[in-house]
Structure 1
Amino acid sequence: MSHELNLTDEELLRYSRQILLPSWDLEAQQRLKSSQVVILGAGGLGCPVSETLARAGVGAIHLIDDDHIEASNLQRQTLFTAADIGKNKAKTACQALQKINPHVQLTYAEQRLTADNAAEILLVAQAQQSSTPFLILDCTDNFAARERLNEISVQYQLPLLSASAIAMSGQLALYEPAKQSGCYHCVFGDSIASGSDEAVEDTRNCSNSGVLASTTTVMGNLQANAALQYLGLSINPLAGQLLIWDGQRMSQHKLRYRQDKQCPVCANS
């Protein structure tokens, strides 16, 4: 059964440069219009990725963030201005995105992800997604939230596109638990549990270690690039691979991973 939605004349004009691409087409744009994303985090990563997805024509975006805008956020959180200081990030981002593209359905939750509410607030659109492209985007800055997102992703067999950004570097991976190809815990769980250098690295965030303004914008748009291909073309350009971007050296490379057969999260899913 087709889940595609017809594009209006205004939408055809708005998205015409995408539709002209040989690797894209009208069908891909229609799939994008029917797609839904849930984004956890409306900060340095959440702002650029949600803006690009809204401009590109994703059908529905649900933003989750209980944090409020501070002056130090304005250096990199591109949807906010000085007049927004003190306001909720998710709500303010949705208001900005609505002005950018009124064709996108925008909703938000002013909540912090916990073990008790994770399923409820992450799956707000899941009841409708059985026949439409759906993706969870991890734009958080702490390991506990990423692990919780990963557990929900595996439990409900939902794809998870996870990005991180710190200083002048970032990482990106798109996990598909339904394919049993590995999850976030498969890649990072052992190093964090063992207290290795990678674990120390993961405890850093923008608040305690700093980040260049361009780092979050680059990583947010790399995340958007992967999301658009997954939603519009049903392609995972990072299947089984962790992308590592180094802004200081202006380089990037990918590392292959596979499912840990002893993973406590996904091995028996």
Structure 2
Amino acid sequence: MMLIKEELNRYNRQMILPEMGLIGQEKLKVAKVLVIGAGGLGCPILQYLAAAGVGTIGIVDDDVVELSNLHRQILYNHTDIGLSKAKTAAAKLKLLNPHISFTAYHERFTIDNAASICRNYDLLIDCSDNFTTRYLVNDTCVELGKTLIFGSILQFEGQVAIFNHNSGPSYRDLYPAPPTENINCVEGGVIGILPGIIGLYMANEAIKLICGIGETLSGKLMTIDALNNTVLVFKIAQEKQAETVKTEATVRETKEIDKTTLEQWLTESADEIFLIDVREDYEHEENNIGGVNISLYDLTASLETIPKNKKLVCYCQTGQRSKMAVQLLEGVYEGEVFTLKGGLVH
């Protein structure tokens, strides 16, 4: 699809990048991207994808703008309170770039409409804030063969990953089942700048995927701690490869223990166990089951403080950060390393 003169002028600074050029900009123009959730993450993603020239953008959100949204969802202002997020976002973004086609879906993303909405788009971006929607988005992408960009935020920490790209890992390979509790920004809070940081990473991954440039986060999980300025990237093991890599699958399985096993170990051989809470210090102070507190982001730098040749058991709120801790420590710690299955909320 040819770019008109006004578009050539609008995207000039982007097109002079050798990685982008006219071909890359034309790829953006014909791209069809669906953004699920027009809240904290959705706002910066939508703004920058529209500004970059993504030709067709769908916006799914059944929520309305609330006063408590405005510290982080800066696409909106106080005059928008009570209005549909999807429709309001589309109207504002049309003013930002009139060359983009927007479709606003002011409806909840459910099992009844998921496939019919997603089928019309090339790339999906999940900005939802609950596990029910996240699993539904993932499963729909797997069913339809769509690439999914995932992001999440809570307090000062954010995550970004790309799932189901070129038969790569899906969200269920990272999180096979939802935790028993869904701690979101309403309960846990979030610093207003964080969704901007994570959202821009997600938008950048979208542009790279569409244009076929750079190295993406496909099969990887990037975590960002905005409080301590720490970035970690983890490889995501693919469960469907377990049959061909049986030893790897077995190792992963033996590294996870439940609370009953931990209690038994602490009762029978406490001197052989070293318990580490890999959450932040403020989380540890609020609630913990003992042990020392070493943040996930400080773990590798704190190896000298960890006793040698003991069974390390890492725990966190949901079991996800402790799984990452095991990955970090494997190969650099002499003894065995375990994660507490399900974390404190299980």
Residue correspondence of structure 1 range 152-167 to structure 2 within 5 A = 152-167=140-155
Give the C-alpha shift of residue 114 in structure 1.
Answer: 1.4
Aligned to 1:228: 207
In the alignment, residue 170 of structure 2 is paired with which amino acid? C
1:120 aligns with 2:132: no
The list of structure 1 runs, each at least 4 consecutive aligned residues, that deviate by more than 4 angstroms after superposition, is: none
Q: 1:105 and 2:101 equivalent?
A: yes
Within-5 A mapping of 1:1-269? 5-123=1-119, 125-126=120-121, 134-177=122-165, 179-190=166-177, 192=178, 203-233=182-212, 237-261=216-240
The separation in 2 between residues aligned to 1:142 and 1:64, in whole angstroms, is 14
Matched residues in 2 for 1:236 and 1:151: separation?
25
3-state SS of the aligned residue for 2:153? strand
Identity across the alignment (%): 37
TM-score, structure 1 normalization:
0.86
Question: Secondary structure of the residue that 1:43 maps to in structure 2?
Answer: coil
- Cα distance in 2 for partners of 1:99, 1:71 equals 23
**C-alpha distance in 2 between matches for 1:176 and 1:236:** 16
TM norm structure 2: 0.67
Q: Deviations over 1:122-144 (max 9, x none)?
A: 22x24xxxxxxx20000001111
Residues 174, 236 of structure 1: 8 Å contact kept = no
Give the paired residue count: 242
SS at match of 1:87: coil
Structure 1 residues without counterparts, runs of 5 or longer = 127-133, 264-269
Give the counterpart letter for 2:225 in structure 1: D
AA paired with 1:188? Y
Larger Rg: 2
Instruction: Please state whether the residue corresponding to 1:189 is helix, strand or coil.
Output: coil
2:13 & 2:168 partners in 1: Cα distance? 34
What is the CA deviation profile of residues 34-78 of structure 1, one whole-angstrom value per residue up to 9, with x for unaligned ones? 101011000000010000000000000000000011000011111
Following the alignment from structure 1 to structure 2, what is the Cα–Cα distance between the partners of residues 98 and 118? 25
In 1: Cα distance, 2:29 partner to 2:118 partner:
20
Q: Which structure 2 segments of 5+ residues have no match?
A: 243-346
2:19–2:213: 8 Å Cα contact kept in structure 1?
Answer: no
CA distance in 2, matches of 1:27, 1:121: 28
The alpha carbon displacement at 1:233 in A equals 2.2
Indicate the RMSD between aligned Cα atoms, in angstroms.
Answer: 1.5
Contact preservation (8 Å) 1:181, 1:258: no
Distance, in Å, in 1 between the alignment partners of 2:37 and 2:118 is: 12
